[in-house]
Amino acid sequence: MANPGLEVKKNTYKHMYYPPGGLLMWIIIFLELLTFGIALIIMVYSAKEEPVVFHESRLLLNTTYGALNTVFLLTSGFFMTQFVRFQRELNLKRSKLFLVLTMLGGIAFLFLKAIEYSDKIDAGLTIGYNNFFAFYWMLTLFHVIHVVVGLVILGTLIAGLYKKNPSLKMEDVETSAAFWHMCDLIWILLFPIIYLFF
């Protein structure tokens, strides 16, 4: 049910060729995906130089952790689409619910990733262990930073929804959603290559 107290400010300059979240966000997304893509290509090339090292190192990863984190992020991404949907419908109650669920998915991802990192450090599998783990730490930590930034962005939206007179710009909602889905997409690239490929 729509909440008349919830104001959604629409951008009058948008048209069918203007992407959700704005052109700047999509330029950022393109550059981020390009950065991760280049790093993964370099990783695959390095694996050809040290196939045994990369294969044996990959077997030291916990694939279950990686798969669970994939579920956490994809589920969180679904909740984000629902949040955007109910925000457009001016449904404050459901908007809050799905935004909280989105954030919980991100927090669950970080919690499990922290456990995984702790296991690796305890086993001595740090960034200097070998080339595989150098890539593992650099790529996954860079992704973790993106998830943390995403949660901070979502936190600002939640603060807006819990104000006495809740008000969010639809552009801010769409920009946040685009960034969050970028985190999902990057992980979908990282998971199979790091945890399954070698």
pLDDT at 159: 87
- Show the beta-strand stretches assigned E in 44-197: 167-169
pLDDT in tens, 79-96: 999 999 999 888 888 999
pLDDT at 20: 67
pLDDT at 21: 64
pLDDT at 106: 97
Average pLDDT, the chain: 88
pLDDT at 11: 42
pLDDT in tens, 1-53: 444 444 444 444 454 456 666 677 888 888 999 999 999 999 999 999 999 99
d(CA 160, CA 137): 35
Q: Which of 12, 32, 13, 22 is nearest to 142 (CA)?
A: 32
pLDDT at 36: 93
Domain boundaries, the chain: 21-197
Q: How confident is the model at residue 169 (pLDDT cuts 50, 70, 90)?
A: confident
pLDDT at 13: 44
CATH no. of 21-197: 1.20.120.80
Whether the per-residue pLDDT at 72 is higher than 70: the answer is yes
d(CA 142, CA 45): 20
- The predicted model scores a pTM of 0.85
What values do phi and psi take at 168, rounded to 5? -130, 140
Write out the two tokens for 191. 């998971």
pLDDT in tens, 114-168: 999 999 999 999 999 999 999 999 999 999 999 999 999 999 999 888 776 677 7
pLDDT at 8: 44
pLDDT in tens, 53-69: 999 999 999 999 999 99
pLDDT at 172: 84
pLDDT at 69: 97
pLDDT at 23: 76
Query: How far apart are the two ends of the chain, measured CA to CA in Å?
Result: 50
